[in-house]
């Protein structure tokens, strides 16, 4: 019995160690150092080389090392026989929630601006936003979005959500679909993107949608770089319509050294660290699905190929 780890570029030792620690008898292989590829049924992946699964004719499960699966679904040659699964790790959800709260508070209390004032020895008492002044809009009301909404409502914010389908949540009004997007945007003083990346959501943060936000709105993208049209964000920041943006994800990562985001005074950059999978915590659910596969039981956290998440 074996699991193969397939990734182009991501570190594999942490995962291999975590899986072995929990299951010493398991054979943990790392692509391409696999002799009997036809014996492998379970792959754990992040950004695999396109077409690689043609080398593994008996793959039955392709498990993502993270919450997102766009890095798997981008491959047009996925084996039809394989089930794709994602992680729904409580630690990932917790860390994302706290990071989003940190960015919201950083913006509201001008912490970055005060740091700059400090560097100039400048006693600059800026007005700050309060929870009463600020409605937060969360795009994407899956596990991560719902948890972030819950933390923010507990802090006293008014929070709205936007989702593809109807959702009922205490204390959060969830707007639905294309038809309610404009009304949702018009109320979002701080917009947080936590959407999965699919053909429907790619480039969803563009000049048309960002223009619908109230004047001086703030944009937080902690989902995927391809949700955002970079030039459109810069245009709306420069025109003064938007107050600023915090970006953790980029179309190309690492963000190229000459990208205009780096030096933009209204953009706050972090290097895709909002929520990082801890293999020691996530290995349990990977092994649970591995065991289910051996027993012929339904897997957990299955990705819908039609929806793309
Ligand atoms: C991180 O970006 C993830 O999808 O887990």
Annotation marks residue 227 as catalytic: no
Spatial CB neighbours of 38, under 8 Å, sequence gap ≥ 6: 56, 57, 58
Ligand 1 pocket mutation pick from 46, 66, 84 by most atoms within 8 angstroms of CB = 66
Check 31, 107, 224, 227 and give the catalytic one: 224
Backbone angles phi, psi at 183, to 5 degrees: -65, -40
Q: What is the pLDDT of residue 10?
A: 87
Ligand 1 within 6 A of CB of 73 = no
Could you give all domains of the chain from N- to C-terminal order, each with its CATH number?
2-89+278-295 (3.40.50.720), 90-269 (3.40.50.720)
CA atoms within a 13 Å half-sphere pointing along the CA-CB vector of 271: 5
Task: Give yes or no for a contact between 241 and 267, defined as CB atoms under 8 angstroms apart.
Answer: no
Per-residue pLDDT tens over the stretch 219-247: 999 999 999 999 999 999 999 999 999 99
Q: Which residues of the chain have pLDDT under 70?
A: none
Looking at residue 1, what is its pLDDT? 80
Q: What is the pLDDT of residue 138?
A: 98
Instruction: Give yes or no: 292 in active site.
Output: no
User: Residue 255 carries which DSSP code?
Assistant: P
Q: How far is CA 67 from the centre of its chain?
A: 7
Q: Give the DSSP H/E element, type plus range, for residue 15.
A: helix 13-22
User: Token pair 């920041």 is at which residue?
Assistant: 237
Residue of 44, 86, 277 with the most ligand 1 atoms within 8 Å of its CB, for mutation: 277
Q: Give the nearest ligand 1 atom to 68 CA.
A: 4
Q: How far apart are CA 158 and CA 76, in angstroms?
A: 41
Class of residue 47 by CB neighbours under 10 A (exposed 0-12, middle 13-18, buried 19+): middle
Determine if ligand 1 sits within 6 Å of the CB of residue 274: no
Q: Is 163 helix (H, G, I), strand (E, B) or coil?
A: strand
Residue 66 CB–ligand 1 contact under 6 Å: yes
What stretch of H or E contains 285?
helix 279-295
Q: How far is the CA of 221 from the centre of ligand 1 (A)?
A: 13
């Amino acid at each position: 019995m074996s699991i193969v780890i397939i990734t182009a570029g991501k570190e594999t030792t942490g995962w291999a160690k975590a899986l072995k620690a929990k299951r010493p008898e398991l054979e943990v292989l790392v692509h391409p150092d696999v002799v009997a590829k036809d014996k492998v049924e379970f792959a754990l992946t992040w950004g695999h080389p396109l077409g690689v699964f043609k080398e593994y004719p008996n793959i039955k499960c392709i498990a993502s090392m993270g919450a997102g699966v766009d890095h798997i679904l981008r491959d047009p040659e996925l084996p039809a026989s394989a089930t794709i699964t994602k992680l729904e790790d409580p630690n990932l959800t917790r860390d994302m929630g706290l990071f989003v709260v940190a960015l919201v508070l950083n913006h509201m209390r001008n912490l970055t601006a005060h740091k700059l004032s400090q560097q100039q020895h400048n006693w600059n008492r800026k007005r700050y936003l309060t929870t009463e002044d600020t409605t937060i809009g969360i795009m994407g009301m899956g596990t991560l979005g719902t948890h972030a909404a819950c933390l923010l409502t507990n802090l006293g914010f008014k929070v709205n959500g936007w989702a593809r389908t109807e959702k009922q949540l205490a204390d959060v009004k969830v707007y639905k679909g294309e038809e309610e997007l404009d009304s949702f945007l018009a109320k979002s003083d701080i917009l947080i993107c936590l959407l999965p990346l699919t053909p429907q959501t790619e480039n969803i943060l563009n000049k048309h949608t960002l223009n619908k936000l109230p004047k001086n709105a703030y944009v937080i993208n902690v989902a995927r770089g391809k949700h955002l049209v970079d030039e459109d964000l810069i245009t709306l920041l420069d025109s003064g319509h938007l107050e600023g943006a915090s970006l953790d994800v980029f179309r190309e990562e690492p963000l190229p050294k000459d990208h205009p985001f780096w030096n933009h005074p209204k953009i706050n950059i972090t290097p895709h660290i909002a929520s990082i999978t801890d293999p020691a915590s996530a290995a349990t659910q990977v092994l649970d699905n591995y065991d289910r596969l051996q027993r012929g039981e339904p897997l957990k956290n299955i990705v819908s190929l039609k929806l793309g998440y």
